[in-house]
Amino acid sequence: MGAGVSSLFGLGGGDAEPAAVAGAAGLGDLPELCAAEVLLRLDAPEICRLARLNHAFRGAAGADFVWEAKLPENYRYLMSFVEGGGGGGDNGSRRRRRRPAGKKEIYARLARPVPFDGGSKEFWLEKSKGRVCMALSSKSLVITGIDDRRYWQHIPTAESRFHSVAYLQQIWWFEVVGEIDFCFPVGTYSLYFRVHLGKFYKRFGRRVCSTEHVHGWDKKPVRFQLSTSDGQHSLSQCSLGEPGSWVLYHAGDFVASKTDQTIKLKFSMAQIDCTHTKGGLCVDSVLIYPKGFQQERMVRSQKCRC
């Protein structure tokens, strides 16, 4: 037995036949089922890289059971948005489109943004762990005074995934409110407001930020609230800062404990002390990420307990 193992790795000494060494087994001879067992222990990007190694891993990387293990448990619910059902109701059954051929294709589709509610919201799977992320545009939020151009205006920009942000010039009562009903996969999530102090624009191809209208945010902190339909609640406050940069302000965390149960989130960002005005703020979106998830474009997040 020892001689056999030595021969396999070319360690048999001078008596080893050259033909035997040349015919030694390698990774290319690994059965696809064994290769698939290896892939089950890897993240999606690692699976794709290993699929380029040889035929065995390439074949195993297309197996449905490998990719189903990487998908969220409620991936059929998520796919109903892709197929036009908006959550898997009867309307979705009538408008059902052809499903992708396999679980790998489903993973790939869900890893790209899936818009819903008229394109004002979207979700996607972060590619590494297959966890759900979500973004809600400023146009999907209820913003006090948004229809009065003396206070607010919508600015087109490439710095938003929705290509538009709400810019506050000046107001006494600042309040942004939103809600979402969704079946989140089981896990803990963090909710953020993505905002920017100052009005930015391009001049001669360079980004310029004007802080002309920025005022009032140093007088009192902004208050954040988050509540869920199953009784979770978070209340915090934080002063806005860092003009010229996009900042993610942490509004709170919530836990989704049942994959097949819709959870309703209500959240707000407010500074309603009417003893002074405030202005010069861009509101881009609300972001919901798995807790601990980081992105390169994340500038800073902070939360102050009341």
Q: What is the DSSP string of 2-61?
A: HHHHHHHTT-SGGGS-HHHHHT---GGGS-HHHHHHHHTTS-HHHHHHHTTT-HHHHHHT
Residue 287 · residue 194 · CB < 8 Å: yes
The predicted pLDDT at position 119 comes to 95
Q: Is 47:83 a contact under the CB 8 Å cutoff?
A: no
Q: Is residue 306 part of a domain?
A: no
Instruction: Verify that 134 and 271 share a domain, yes or no.
Output: yes
Same-domain status, 61 and 140: no
Q: Which of 79, 135, 134 lies closest to 107, judged by CA?
A: 79
What is the tens place of the pLDDT at every residue in 70-117?
A: 999 999 999 999 987 566 554 444 445 564 458 989 999 999 999 999
Domain contains 5: no
131 and 65 assigned to the same domain: no
Q: Which domain holds residue 165?
A: 117-299
pLDDT at 28: 59
Q: Is residue 112 part of a domain?
A: no
Instruction: Please provide the DSSP assignment of 165-209 as one string.
Output: EEEE--BSSEEEEEEEEE-PPSEEEEEEEEEEESEEEEETTEEEE
Q: What percent of the chain has pLDDT over 70?
A: 80
- Domain for residue 93, yes or no? no
Number of domains in the chain: 2
> Considering the chain, what is the average pLDDT of its residues?
83
Q: Say how far apart CA 6 and CA 259 lie, in whole Å.
A: 51
The β-bridge partners of 176 are 143, 269
The reply to whether 41 and 179 lie within a common domain is: no
Q: What is the pLDDT of residue 116?
A: 96
Please indicate, yes or no, if residue 138 is contained in any of the structural domains: yes
Note whether 150 and 233 are same-domain residues.
yes
**187 in the same domain as 45:** no
pLDDT at 27: 58
Residue 297 pLDDT exceeds 80: no
The enclosing domain of 269 has a CATH number of 2.60.120.260
Neighbouring CB atoms inside 10 A of 69's CB total 14
Domain annotation covers residue 287: yes
Residue 170 contacts residue 278 (beta carbons within 8 Å): yes
Looking at the fold, whether 56 and 191 belong to one and the same domain comes out as no
Q: Is residue 292 situated within a structural domain?
A: yes
56 and 193, same domain (yes or no): no
Co-location of 148 and 253 in the same domain: yes
Q: Which residues contact 294 (CB under 8 A, 6 or more apart)?
A: none
Average pLDDT for residues 171-197, to the nearest whole number? 96
Q: Mean pLDDT across the stretch 5-15?
A: 40
Segment 191-215 mean pLDDT: 90
- Whether 108 is in a domain gets the answer no
Cα 190-193-197 angle, rounded to 5 deg: 145
